[in-house]
Amino acid sequence: MPQGKPEHTPDDGLTTRQRRNRPLLIVHTGPGKGKSTAAFGLALRAWNQGWPIGVFQFVKSAKWRIGEERALQTLGELGPPVTWHKMGEGWSWIKKSTSESDHAADALEGWSQIKRDLLSQTYRLLILDEFTYPINWGWIPIDDVLTTLSTRPGTQHIVITGRNAHPALLSQADLVTEMIKLKHPMDTGQKGQKGIEW
């Protein structure tokens, strides 16, 4: 895409402006670091455009205080609103054996809230962080996700992050980025650091 120009123009009957302003489904997946970070960087761009933003985190503990959350919520007080929802209580992308039904119920309620927000067009950008995991664990039906996202009204952009994105989700997405880990400090026994991992 030289200078941001598409290689070809589809014969879809849309004007350049209509095609440019289509709502996008974006997926950041893969084993590498940076999937959520890239989504939050996109949120900064959206905030600068005056868009209301909803962040739904599916595997981050409500107790964790990540830097992007604080920064975006502070920005939300100065301009377009940024709303942050957490659906977990300390579970991670490595599914824990205890209280799975509670986590599944939390995830399903989070998905129900997203569906309500999509119908009411509450946000212009929704980030569904770590959303691939409750889909893969069977807590949220992939068919419901695909139907809901393909029939959402308005110009709501969706970003989904997480490892091992479902093949049907990848097929439906407009933009897919796979983060590949080539090297990480954890490979040599170094734990995560403030300002780098959170």
Per-residue pLDDT reduced to its tens digit, 131-174: 999 999 999 999 999 999 999 999 999 999 999 999 999 999 99
Whole-number pLDDT of residue 90: 45
Residue matched to tokens 């940076």: 34
> Which three-class secondary structure string do you get for the chain?
CHHHCCCCCCCCCCCHHHHHCCCCEEEEECCCCCHHHHHHHHHHHHHHCCCCEEEEEEEEECCCCCHHHHHHHHHHHHCCCEEEEEEECCCCCCCCCCCHHHHHHHHHHHHHHHHHHHHHCCCCEEEEECCHHHHHCCCCCHHHHHHHHHCCCCCCEEEEECCCCCHHHHHHCCEEEECCCCCCHHHHCCCCCCCCCC
Task: Tell me how long the chain is.
Answer: 198
User: Per-residue pLDDT tens for 68-105?
Assistant: 888 898 889 999 999 999 875 444 445 555 566 677 88
Q: Where are the domains of the chain?
A: 21-179
161 strand-pairing partners: 28
**What's the pLDDT score for residue 15?**
83
For the domain 21-179, what is the CATH code? 3.40.50.300
Give the bridge partners for 159, in sequence order: 26, 127
Q: What is the mean pLDDT of the chain?
A: 87
Q: How far apart, in whole angstroms, are the C-alpha atoms of residue 26 and residue 46? A: 14
Residue 66 confidence class, pLDDT cut points 50, 70, 90: confident
User: Is the pTM here over 0.85, yes or no?
Assistant: yes
Count other Cβ atoms within 10 Å, centred on residue 26: 19
- Residue whose entry in the numeric block shows the structure tokens 């929704």: 126
Give the model's confidence band at 112: pLDDT under 50 very low, under 70 low, under 90 confident, else very high. very high
